[in-house]
Amino acid sequence: MDQQRENLINVFVSEGLSRSGAEEMAGTLTGAATDTACELLPGAERGEAWRWAFMSAVTLPPTLGALAEQKALPPADATLTARLLLGVGHGLQMRGQDLPPLPAAPTPSPALRTLRSQAETFVTAELSRHFGAHLAIQARLTHVVGENIVQPRDDEAGGWTLLAALEAVDRHAGNAFLRFAEGDSRSAYQLGRALLYGIALQLTAASSSSAAPAPRPTGIRRLFGRR
């Protein structure tokens, strides 16, 4: 087992999972979920665009938690998607280590463009409900992550990669959490999720055609903690 995957497992153990639960979580995110991200954005693992997904997971949890607390929502649930995103970011990084970069930015699949349209509706509805005018918050979070990504960087490719990674997290972990989440826990999760999707929308705005959303939720312990 490589050291980075071991570090990822230790992160999930620190979240309260058993060792076996953490191994299963890491395996799902670096395996099937990363497969999904690469299907939605062929070539996502080649080049440096994966850094937007990885650094969003690393840098944003404190900010997402603070924004949730401002709305009297539980910060742990608001940061869950970001923490799960770490696994897909790691999976993309590992797959691309020995591959040459693409000669041009990866081209989003039709399915990913449709998902962007759905995400735009979701983000607008969710963030408007909490913050009213929300574009400034999206821009601020995008700036926070971007400051931690080395130059030169391809923000548009990074945005599509982040979008594909978020959808992968939703399909393979987050949607199952929503089936259990209620009340403030559900609201916090959806808020954190919307803030992350908002970054992807900002980065891909120049190259997209948009339309309507589909919420997709999260929860680490409830998914893999029963061991």
**Which of 57-66, 89-98, 130-139 has the largest mean confidence?**
57-66
Amino acid at site 213: P
**Model confidence at 218: pLDDT above 50:** no
Tell me the torsion sign for CA atoms 126, 129, 133, 139. negative
CB-CB neighbours of 182 under 10 Å? 8
How does pLDDT run across 102-158, given as a tens digit for each residue?
Answer: 888 889 999 999 999 999 999 999 999 998 877 888 899 999 999 988 777 789 999
| Cβ neighbours for 207, distance < 8 A, ≥ 6 positions apart | 108, 156
Determine contact, residues 121/212, Cβ cutoff 8 Å.
yes
pTM: 0.87
Phi and psi, residue 198, nearest 5°:
-60, -35
Taking the C-alpha atoms of residue 137 and residue 155, their distance in angstroms, rounded to an integer, is: 18
